[in-house]
């Protein structure tokens, strides 16, 4: 078909044809450009679907379940090897744990032992735990403030230079004697070496009461490994602080997990510049638990103790230090000797030079009704 000329009276020849360009009407004579349509009109002309509504944003992430009913939850963060974690209300796995995704852990640089609080939704049909939707607090501060905290391993460790005075009342002699013969400082790594039935549990209880009374601003924790259930109940009711406990009838893996989570909790507090005092009972049972869950490397020490189990137990005890920047972590742990087990004696020999304070209890003095049964001649 021939083209029509500009005046509409003739037919242009094929020789007058030219290549047409988009947006331009070819005419014989003067070429006039076509006005381009606005972009919005072009979109409206070819848009035959409804514009989706932007979902609600929580922590600048797209949360499809943001409109569901939520509840404020808080717990200790336990991160799995896969990257996600669980908020545990009492440091032990339970049905009340709250699931937290790996993306939230990476986004807020969360670490094991953090106390995380936020809004969570109920579990769906195919889920077991509540799901955390929004992170509102990390260790009682905002996520922005928690992002500026240092890493625990990067802090500078120095010698203890400030004493923790344990003397309270005149009739309590044990804490007064400790202040005189082996004073404890902030950041101390102390060992209470005791024989069975020498009064170590009673001594630990008096020390805990002294710390809570003389230093209410200091964070007090009791980490009990493989204890009897009735003793755990009594300490939990009377201690003014956190208690992380495992019973002797629980699997060794659970005992180790509770101890590690409690130590990570203490590290997070030191990173925030706080002073933490831990009473660990006992290092012997913690090392035994590591020995039971550790792999058989072929290197067995005397008493049937694996060489691989020494390192994680020493790492837990070695976390105590006084920080030059701000804060301190004090650990006073008990170590059993003369139990009739060669393994217990080996554990004490391995930990003998790791602490910077030792206090020995003598069962012979306790049999004579001499309390506290401190052996000052060791």
Interval 79-124: pLDDT, tens: 999 889 999 988 888 888 999 999 999 999 899 999 999 999 888 8
Contacts of 11 (CB under 8 A, 6+ apart): 2, 3, 4, 5
CB neighbour burial string for 91-105, b if at least 16 within 10 angstroms, e if fewer = bbeeeebbbbeeebb
Higher pLDDT, residue 80 or 59: 80
Mean pLDDT to the nearest integer, 159-169: 90
Q: How confident is the model at residue 351 (pLDDT cuts 50, 70, 90)?
A: confident
Classify the C-alpha dihedral 286-290-292-293 as positive or negative: positive
- 288-to-21, 29, 190, 246, 310 alpha-carbon distances in Å: 85, 100, 19, 14, 9
132 Cα distance to chain centroid = 16
Higher pLDDT, residue 62 or 182: 182
Token pair 């922005």 is at which residue?
144
217 pLDDT exceeds 60? yes
Tokens of 119: 């809004």
Q: What is the CATH superfamily name and number for domain 154-375?
A: P-loop containing nucleotide triphosphate hydrolases (3.40.50.300)
Higher pLDDT, residue 166 or 37: 166
Winning range, highest mean pLDDT, from 20-24, 70-74, 125-129: 70-74
Q: How confident is the model at residue 187 (pLDDT cuts 50, 70, 90)?
A: very high
Q: How confident is the model at residue 189 (pLDDT cuts 50, 70, 90)?
A: very high
The mean predicted confidence, pLDDT, of the chain is: 82
- 55-to-65, 67, 132 alpha-carbon distances in Å: 9, 9, 17
Mean pLDDT to the nearest integer, 300-319: 82
253 pLDDT exceeds 70? yes
What percentage of residues in the chain have a pLDDT greater than 70? 80
CB 110 within 8 A of CB 116: yes
Can 61-147 and 154-375 be said to share one CATH topology? no
Q: How confident is the model at residue 56 (pLDDT cuts 50, 70, 90)?
A: very low
pTM: 0.76
| Per-residue confidence (pLDDT) for residue 34, from 0 to 100 | 61
Q: How confident is the model at residue 7 (pLDDT cuts 50, 70, 90)?
A: very low
Q: Report domain extents, the chain.
A: 61-147, 154-375
| Per-residue confidence (pLDDT) for residue 166, from 0 to 100 | 92
| Per-residue confidence (pLDDT) for residue 5, from 0 to 100 | 44
CATH class of the domain whose range is 61-147? mainly beta
| Per-residue confidence (pLDDT) for residue 261, from 0 to 100 | 93
């Amino acid at each position: 078909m021939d083209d029509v000329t500009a005046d509409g009276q003739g037919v242009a020849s094929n020789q007058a044809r030219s290549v047409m360009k988009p947006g331009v009407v070819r005419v014989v004579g003067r070429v006039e450009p076509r006005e381009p349509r606005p972009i919005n009109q072009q979109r409206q002309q070819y848009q035959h679907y409804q514009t989706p509504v932007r979902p609600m944003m929580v922590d600048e992430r797209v949360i499809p379940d943001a409109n569901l009913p939520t509840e404020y939850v808080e717990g200790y963060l336990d991160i799995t090897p896969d990257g996600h974690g669980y908020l545990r209300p009492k440091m032990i796995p339970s049905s009340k744990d709250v699931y937290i995704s790996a993306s939230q852990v990476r986004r807020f640089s969360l670490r094991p032992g953090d106390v995380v609080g936020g809004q969570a939704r109920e579990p769906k049909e195919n889920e077991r735990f509540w799901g955390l939707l929004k992170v509102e607090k990390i260790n009682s501060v905002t996520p922005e403030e928690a992002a500026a905290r240092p890493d625990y391993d990067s802090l500078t460790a120095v010698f203890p230079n400030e004493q923790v005075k344990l003397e309270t009342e005149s009739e309590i002699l044990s804490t007064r004697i400790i202040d005189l013969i082996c004073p404890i400082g902030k950041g101390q790594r102390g060992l209470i070496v005791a024989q069975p039935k020498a009064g170590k549990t009673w001594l630990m209880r008096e020390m805990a009461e002294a710390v809570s009374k003389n230093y209410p601003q200091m964070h007090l924790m009791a980490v009990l490994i493989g204890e009897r259930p009735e003793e755990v109940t009594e300490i939990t009711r009377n201690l003014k602080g956190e208690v992380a406990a495992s019973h002797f009838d629980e699997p060794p893996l659970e005992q180790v997990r509770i101890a590690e989570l409690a130590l990570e909790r203490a590290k997070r507090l030191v990173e925030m510049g706080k002073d933490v005092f831990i009473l660990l009972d006992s290092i012997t049972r913690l090392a035994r638990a590591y020995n039971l869950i550790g792999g058989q490397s072929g290197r067995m020490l005397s008493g049937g103790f694996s060489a691989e189990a020494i390192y994680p137990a020493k790492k837990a005890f070695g976390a105590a230090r006084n920080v030059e920047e701000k804060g301190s972590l004090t650990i006073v742990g008990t170590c059993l000797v003369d139990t009739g087990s060669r393994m217990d004696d080996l554990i004490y020999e391995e930990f003998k030079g790791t602490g910077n304070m030792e206090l020995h209890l003598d069962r012979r003095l306790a049999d004579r009704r001499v309390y506290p049964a401190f052996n000052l001649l060791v």
